[in-house]
Amino acid sequence: MKVCVVGAGAIGATIGARMAASGHEVALVARGAHLQAIRTEGLRFVDHVDGQSGIYRLAASDEPRDLGAQDCVFLAVKAHQLPAILGGCSTLLGPQTVVVPAINGLPWWYFYRSGGPWEGMHLETLDPQGQMFAMLPGARVLGCVVHMAAEQRAAGEVHATAGRRLILGEPDNSESERMRALAQRLRAAGFVVECSRDIRREIWVKLIGNLSFNPVAALTGYRMDQICADEQLLVLIRAVLTEGAQVAARYGIDVGMTPDERIEIARQLGAARISMLQDLESRRSLELAPIVGAVMELGQRAGVPMPTTRAIHALIRARARALDLPAI
């Protein structure tokens, strides 16, 4: 396959490096010093999950139009970067190109082909005017939930630190040939891949974890294992997990697990420094809208009180302001 990863940061570079090692023709869209390092020295990828490492000489650009039509495009940018990115991705799309948003939080396409009373709904926090659908037709999208941890430790250097699980699913929950074909190639590249007939439930299972753990990590500076070992913090985590599950239920999704069962999933990431903590430490914009804001908007529309989530949201926004960081 010809594969392009738009956003060659921690997760994007992990996908790109493993696909390249499996024999696919991989191109990366990156920027700044990271792009320059990849161009001049290659992408240094260290895989702590299986003990492998290597340097990958891959095509890389800050302009998607330089890379031509692809068979598969992974979107691994921050959610707030998507509106600026999607318009330039049209040159990556051939007749059968599938686009896989490997992003955090509630995806902008969530209500596309969802059926029921919310079909086609746009959230103010994500895509109020439906602009992203105008730039990228929903039929291109194959849903993806990422259960991995990785870090960009230097320009051109990415470390995969935990997990290799990807969940794929069609927006209409069908079992498609394109999903099966991509799953087979990802498995051959070393990922543990599941094909879901209920991708929105999988989104919520991850989302309530991000909703609870990510802001707490950024506020405390704790790794995942440190949060999971602190019983006082777990009181807060359980409260936010419960509120998130209640919102999901109002939109027809049963996450199918207790707060403590969801915490056990988080424990599997071990000593990972999760994404919002990495962003805060690197003084990057915090992804609050797709991870927290969208859930609060859905909760407000459904009449679900979320006092603990709203309190933590206020604290992390204040923390971002104190550091002069955008909290998008």
Mean pLDDT by 10 residues, the chain (328 residues): 96 97 97 97 95 94 95 92 87 96 94 92 87 89 96 96 96 97 97 98 97 97 97 98 98 97 94 93 92 97 97 96 84
Going by C-alpha positions, the residue among 256, 268, 248, 226 that lies closest to residue 309 is 248
The pLDDT of residue 80? 79
Tokens describing residue 290: 């797709």
String of DSSP letters for 150-189: EEEEETTEEEEEEEEEEEEE-TT----HHHHHHHHHHHHT
The pLDDT of residue 327? 67
The pLDDT of residue 130? 81
DSSP 284: P
CA–CA distance, 271 with 181 (Å, rounded to integer): 33
CA–CA distance, 40 with 32 (Å, rounded to integer): 13
The pLDDT of residue 4? 98
The SS3 assignment for 7 reads coil
The pLDDT of residue 291? 96
Q: Which residue carries 């707030």 as its tokens? A: 80
User: Which of 147, 206, 273, 313 is flagged as catalytic?
Assistant: 206
CA–CA distance, 217 with 224 (Å, rounded to integer): 7
The pLDDT of residue 186? 98
Q: Which residue carries 């990228």 as its tokens? A: 136
Give CATH 3.40.50.720 domain extents, the chain: 2-197
The pLDDT of residue 78? 86
Tell which CATH architecture fits domain 201-322: Orthogonal Bundle (1.10)
C-alpha separations of 77 from 8, 13, 35, 289 in Å: 8, 11, 14, 14
Residue 90's contacts (CB-CB under 8 Å, 6 or more residues apart) are: 135
CA–CA distance, 277 with 254 (Å, rounded to integer): 29
The pLDDT of residue 87? 84
For 225-231, the CB contacts below 8 A with 24+ separation are 225/267, 225/269, 225/270, 225/271, 225/272, 227/266, 228/263, 228/266, 228/267
The SS3 assignment for 221 reads coil
Tokens describing residue 21: 């090692």
Residues in the chain: 328
The pLDDT of residue 88? 87
Residue 308 sits at φ, ψ, to 5 deg, of -70, -45
Q: Is 206 an active-site residue?
A: yes
Tokens describing residue 214: 């990510």
The pLDDT of residue 212? 97
The SS3 assignment for 3 reads strand
- CATH topology for the 2-197 domain: Rossmann fold (3.40.50)
Instruction: Report whether 188 contacts 52 (CB < 8 A).
Output: no
Residue 65: CB atoms within 10 Å? 11
Give CATH 1.10.1040.10 domain extents, the chain: 201-322
CA–CA distance, 278 with 150 (Å, rounded to integer): 10
C-alpha separations of 35 from 18, 20, 87, 300 in Å: 18, 17, 20, 41
